[in-house]
Amino acid sequence: MIMLIKKITFNLILVAAFVLVSCSENYTPLPRGYFRIDLPEHIYQLSDTTFPYYFEYPVYAKLRNSPHNPDSLYWINIVYPQFKATVYLSYKNVDGNLITYLEDAYTLVSKHIPKADAINDSMIVNNARNIYGLTYKIEGSGAASPYQFFVTDSSSHFLRGALYFDIVPNNDSLEPVIDFVTNDIEHLINTLEWNNK
């Protein structure tokens, strides 16, 4: 009996020693989890063809006139209510001032440099539709706008777009939505036509 008590005591001391040794002062909590985001199927419809430009945009988004520029008739917002996201589109007539618009577009993108990890640009060239421009994918968890672009025909039309979210930027958690909306923007660019009526 005494032998059994000694064996139990030894086992308890051994277990207590393992517990004490396995505890450390470097506690690393698990990262915060995020809700799963259900993304709809990409389905598109044609925008207003009375504008100087038209394109296909998603059926789950809403076209709104720009409340910040009520005098600019062709400035519109593509609003994604379910994602709290907006693609701001600003249109300008080109009349010998294309360089100014290009510099403005570059300046607006470069404002994100302090928060960006990288800014990847990609050229747009479509001779058949007379569309030329650049897209900018802005990477970094604190960047306010993860995607911007401009397109022009270099003689009459200039259209600039920027994606923003109405929430605190955390592009790591927003990455699925950013990719989803970016696909819609790229579809917009690929279906864009100038209305030269």
Average pLDDT of span 126-132? 95
Report yes or no: 192 and 151 within 8 Å, Cβ to Cβ: yes
Residues 57, 83: Cα–Cα separation, whole Å = 16
78 pLDDT above the threshold of 90: yes
Where do the structural domains in the chain lie, given as residue ranges? 54-194
Highest mean pLDDT of the ranges 6-10, 23-27, 46-50, 150-154:
150-154
Average pLDDT, the chain: 87
pLDDT digits (tens, 9 = 90+) for 85-109: 999 999 999 999 999 999 999 999 9
pLDDT digits (tens, 9 = 90+) for 135-163: 999 988 778 899 999 999 999 999 999 99
Portion of the chain with pLDDT greater than 70, in percent: 86
Tokens of 115: 């928060």
What is the value of pTM for the model shown? 0.79
Report yes or no: 82 and 61 within 8 Å, Cβ to Cβ: no
Average pLDDT of span 21-38? 66
